[in-house]
């Protein structure tokens, strides 16, 4: 056997979710630094897999009592069957175990029939409960059975061959299984040490609420990794083992205020005691007794954590929120003191 070849290491990116914006229907993640050109490569691949490869659940067929085709009218219901089916397509449902299930809607009397009126199997969870399915007139009655399946991407209505009307009056409908509604990405330049041509990938993921952006990205990356593994001709080159950035290189890479969400904020202020905020005696004493003595410790608290402080109620919370807001700060900022000290150090070195 010949000598093992030496490979050049790759730059390993750091990933960070924007915690201020992160919720069930939206997430923004920043990956940096990336090798030059890798921002577009990874951004395109992740976007395509997120939009078309993430598994989800949807209604694929329905039985509407008294209706045997999608062009019928429904007695006692304002909308015709076609409009009701279009509304049904917009129902957001999640399969908690990845298996199919059934749901049922029974509505009597005048009013709006919404997703909240649907009774679903235990393995199914309905998300957009306020969504209106139809309007029922006085004395009217609506009875619908929904069949939910799981899949990926888009599926055309699965009508059985050679059967115009089904024996059970089932109507098959198109289904969009993907919980991902929109994916965007931007690529910017960033620096590593003295090199300024590395990539910074900003990926923004919108979902319908059936899946959150963090889990969706994990799923998409798992798909990509599984597919790419089959292209390996031999053992994988251990880039993860040989690509650790030396500590001295990391030390040279400056941290930008924008990365920490601190644009226009005084770094010195964050390291000062909370007395700088001139809070009321009650709010000040509650924070001190809870061990919150500096502004950085205060802004790193979430609002829920603040309300858990003894004798620190909603009124005190709002007072503190207004005070820190005037300095461009907010609760839940998750700022590392080591990052602040590094910024101050870099600033001092630049001034020399």
| pLDDT class of 252 with cuts at 50, 70, 90 | very low
| pLDDT class of 248 with cuts at 50, 70, 90 | very low
Residue 28 backbone class (left: φ over 0; alpha: ψ -120 to 50; beta: rest): beta
Better-scored residue on pLDDT, 140 or 54: 54
Q: Where are the domains of the chain?
A: 14-54+180-245, 55-176, 257-351
What are the angstrom distances between the C-alpha of 122 and each of 31, 95, 99, 100? Answer: 38, 9, 11, 11
What are the angstrom distances between the C-alpha of 223 and each of 87, 175, 220, 227? Answer: 32, 22, 5, 6
| pLDDT class of 271 with cuts at 50, 70, 90 | confident
CATH of domain 55-176: 2.170.120.12
Q: What is the pLDDT of residues 286-339, one digit of tens each?
A: 888 888 888 888 888 888 888 888 888 888 888 888 888 887 788 887 777 777
The domains spanning 55-176 and 257-351 adopt the same CATH topology: no
Structure tokens at 20: 């201020």
Better-scored residue on pLDDT, 268 or 303: 303
CB-CB contact of 343 with 266 (8 Å): no
Q: What is the pLDDT of residues 145-172, one digit of tens each?
A: 999 999 999 999 888 887 767 778 899 9
pLDDT over threshold 50, residue 240: yes
| pLDDT, mean over the chain | 85
pLDDT over threshold 80, residue 82: yes
Highest mean pLDDT among 39-43, 63-67, 68-72: 39-43
Q: Which of 205, 223, 222, 202 is nearest to 214 (CA)?
A: 205
Residue with tokens 């290491």: 9
- Res 151: pLDDT: 94
Q: Which CATH class is domain 14-54+180-245?
A: alpha beta
Residue with tokens 């410790």: 297
pLDDT over threshold 60, residue 12: yes
CATH of domain 257-351: 1.10.150.20
Residue 268 backbone class (left: φ over 0; alpha: ψ -120 to 50; beta: rest): alpha
């Amino acid at each position: 056997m010949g000598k093992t070849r030496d490979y050049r290491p790759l730059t390993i990116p750091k990933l960070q979710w924007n915690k201020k914006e992160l919720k069930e229907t939206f997430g923004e993640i920043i990956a940096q630094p990336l090798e030059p050109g890798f921002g577009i490569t990874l951004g395109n691949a992740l976007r395509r897999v997120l939009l078309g490869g993430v598994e989800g659940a949807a209604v694929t067929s329905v039985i509407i009592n008294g209706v045997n085709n999608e062009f019928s009218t429904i007695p006692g219901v304002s909308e015709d069957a076609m409009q009701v089916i279009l509304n049904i397509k917009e129902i957001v449902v999640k399969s908690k175990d990845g298996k199919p299930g059934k749901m049922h809607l029974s509505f009597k009397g005048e009013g709006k029939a919404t997703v909240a009126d649907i009774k679903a199997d235990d393995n199914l969870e309905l998300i957009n409960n306020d969504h209106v399915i139809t309007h029922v007139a006085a004395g009217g009655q609506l009875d619908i059975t929904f069949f939910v399946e799981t899949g990926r991407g888009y599926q055309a209505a699965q009508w059985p061959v050679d059967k115009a009307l089904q024996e059970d009056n089932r109507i098959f409908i198109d289904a969009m299984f993907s919980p991902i509604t929109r994916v965007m990405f931007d690529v910017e330049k960033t620096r590593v040490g003295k090199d300024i041509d590395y990539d910074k990938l900003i990926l923004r993921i919108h979902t319908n609420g059936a899946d959150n952006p963090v889990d969706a990205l994990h799923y998409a990356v798992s798909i990509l990794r599984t597919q790419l593994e089959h292209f390996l001709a031999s053992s994988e080159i251990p880039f993860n083992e040989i690509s650790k950035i030396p500590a001295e290189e990391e030390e040279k890479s400056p941290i930008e205020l924008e990365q920490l969400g601190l644009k226009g904020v005084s770094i010195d202020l964050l390291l000062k005691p909370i007395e700088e905020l001139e809070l009321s005696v009650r709010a000040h004493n509650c924070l001190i007794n809870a061990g919150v003595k500096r502004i950085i410790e205060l802004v790193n608290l979430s609002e829920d954590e603040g309300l858990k402080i003894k004798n620190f109620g909603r009124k005190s919370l709002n007072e503190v929120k207004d005070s820190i807001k005037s300095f461009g700060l907010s609760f839940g900022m998750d700022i590392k003191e080591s990052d602040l000290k590094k910024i101050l150090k870099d600033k001092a070195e630049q001034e020399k």
